Amino acid sequence: MRYAAPVPLKRPFLKWAGGKTKLVPAIREFVPAGTRRLIEPFIGSGAVALNLALPMAILADANADLISVYRELQQGGEKFVAACAALFTPSANESAVYYTRRAEFNASSNRRRKAGLFIYLNRHGYNGLCRYNASGGFNVPFGRYKAPRFPRDELHAFHAVLQNCELRHADFRDVLAEAGEGDFVYCDPPYVPASATANFTAYAKGAFGKLEQADLAACCRVAARRGATVVLSNHDTPGTRALYADADQQRELLVGRRISCHAANRGAARELLVVYRPSRLLV
Ligand SMILES: C[S@@+](CC[C@H](N)C(=O)[O-])C[C@H]1O[C@@H](n2cnc3c(N)ncnc32)[C@H](O)[C@@H]1O
């Protein structure tokens, strides 16, 4: 018997804590045949949207800077890519230039320039982190990489996907409220802590605590009752298993962790994939 070769996975143009490229093959298994629309309320670097490439999508995130980058790429195309490329010169890989540009990013109200700077900061900053201080200023230190690469091909690939997408700067509750029959929803929220010290919650202003995790579980259930297929990933902890005890399926997965400042945390992490299938019983 001959098996089809696996489709190579595309990489997003942004480095992002909790990027889900490695989970794509497992997530893809749950996409019902004939699905027309993907809804991702926690888009991050967009690894899943990029690789599922469904005919339509709503891509959303609470991080306004991130959604602004996607809007500029969606509308500006090659012109925007060229403006970003101009920021990636060898002389720009210096801490003085980095900190000048970081200050410019925090002060700027020019959307296109700010979006280009976001990509520059993402590739030249420490560990590709996206972190803000209490006043909302981006505060990631210089990353000291040898030669940050300009992700031209990755930007082109994402630009193609964005042509059929609606972008939303929104809270997950508002986005999930739109999910219904025929939609495939993938939720990749900030992780519940895997240990007392682990913390992946500083992506956007405002914390993502127990209340948000519980609200999210409730929104997923309701979306499935309206006819959507919902897949969610989070750390595999007793708390996550309990929160999603009523899901149609729970599948554990081992994934490599790429962004962590602690070498000990960079190994494989246990994740739980939770699936709610469409059920119209309670509506
Ligand atoms: C784990 S990351 C998503 C990673 C993404 N799947 C990827 O492959 O790169 C979680 C995302 O949730 C976003 N987020 C945090 N709180 C949110 C909220 N209340 N509503 C919507 N998005 C939120 C963060 O800005 C972050 O981009």
CA distance 247 to 277: 8
Q: What is the pLDDT of residue 269?
A: 74
Asked whether 16 lines ligand 1 (CB < 6 A), one says yes
Q: pTM value?
A: 0.91
Domains in the chain and their CATH numbers?
21-62+170-276 (3.40.50.150), 69-153 (1.10.1020.10)
What is the distance between the alpha carbons of residues 272 and 251, in angstroms, rounded to a whole number?
Answer: 6
Does any ligand 1 atom lie closer than 6 A to the CB of residue 62? yes
> Within 10 A of 124 (CB to CB), how many other CB atoms are there?
24
Mean pLDDT value across residues 167-188: 98
Q: Is 125 in the pocket of ligand 1 (CB under 6 A)?
A: no
| pLDDT tens-digit map of 224-283 | 999 999 999 999 999 999 999 999 999 999 876 554 445 544 556 799 999 999 986 544
Q: Which two tokens stand for residue 128?
A: 């590709």
Q: What angle do CA 85, 90, 92 make, to 5 degrees?
A: 75
Q: Kindly state if the Cβ of 203 falls inside 6 Å of ligand 1.
A: yes
H/E segment holding residue 115: helix 111-124
26 against 263, higher pLDDT: 26
Q: Give the pLDDT confidence score for residue 261 in this predicted structure.
A: 45
Torsion of CA 79, 138, 176, 7, to 10 degrees: 50
pLDDT in tens, 194-215: 765 554 444 444 689 999 999 9
pLDDT digits (tens, 9 = 90+) for 60-70: 999 999 999 99
Range list of β-strands (E), 45-202: 56-61, 165-169, 183-187
| CA dist., res. 269 & res. 94, Å (int) | 34
The closest residue, in CA terms, to atom 2 on ligand 1 is 44
190 lines ligand 1 (CB under 6 A): yes
